[in-house]
Structure 1
Amino acid sequence: MTKKLTEQDILNWNGPEDDYMNEAQLAFFRELLVKLQDELIEKASITTNNMQEHELAPDPADRASQEEEYALELRTRDRERKLLSKIQESLRDIDEGEYGFCRDTGEPIGLKRLLARPTATLSVEAQERRERMKMQFAD
């Protein structure tokens, strides 16, 4: 059984390149991703229950305010739904041994970047390159 890593262990890791995304690191990121997934599912469940329990206000101004709140809540949940999809994709990448490696270059994404953004699929350089290309062709 490998030692369970902490966030600090990930931040301080300076092992050899061939030890990148070892069993302990993969276990750390799997646990992090599953925790994020569970939190998003819980929030969605709470939102659904809240919307089902509340009756529409009889006053038109109150109803408009309430509907605006619902719209904002639904936009937030839609962003979270997209994040949930990315989390599930990252969990599949862990299962397939592809997690932590750039989709464009195959190079390591880096532990610090993955800690900040566990669903990252591109290295910083590849992400910047894509953004530059997007800006060039957006004109």
Structure 2
Amino acid sequence: MKSEAKIFFFLVAFFAIVTPAYAYVTWSMGHFEVIGTTVLALTLLFSLMIWGLLIITGRTVGMRPEDRKDGEIVEGAGALGFFPPSSIVPFWSAIAIAVILLGAVYGWWLSLLGVGLGIWAACGWAYEFYTGDYKH
């Protein structure tokens, strides 16, 4: 996690410098930009959050073969995790989000229909491996 943490530390340092500078420049020009300052501050906080997570995970897991100069490719071999097979549920989730967002254009009743579809899609995510060929 060492290289990833360095990248996010650079982002934290960059946004820690840019955010107050942006706020000062917009304030000194007579028009304080609230939204831009808020977006930069949130980007700083989110980068800080990911950087902290990478630091804590790096201390917990230890050095990975990618982080060491003498690391071999064969050390990283093996199972990387569980990846589910193809599924239709992400498609229905995207349709539900699209219908919810279209509700703001055509009427809020459409958003309610999309929320119902979204609940159905969320149940599909939760119970995907309890039916059919992938039953436990």
Q: With the length of structure 2 as denominator, give the TM-score of the two structures.
A: 0.40
Q: With the length of structure 1 as denominator, give the TM-score of the two structures.
A: 0.39
Structure whose CA Rg is larger = 2
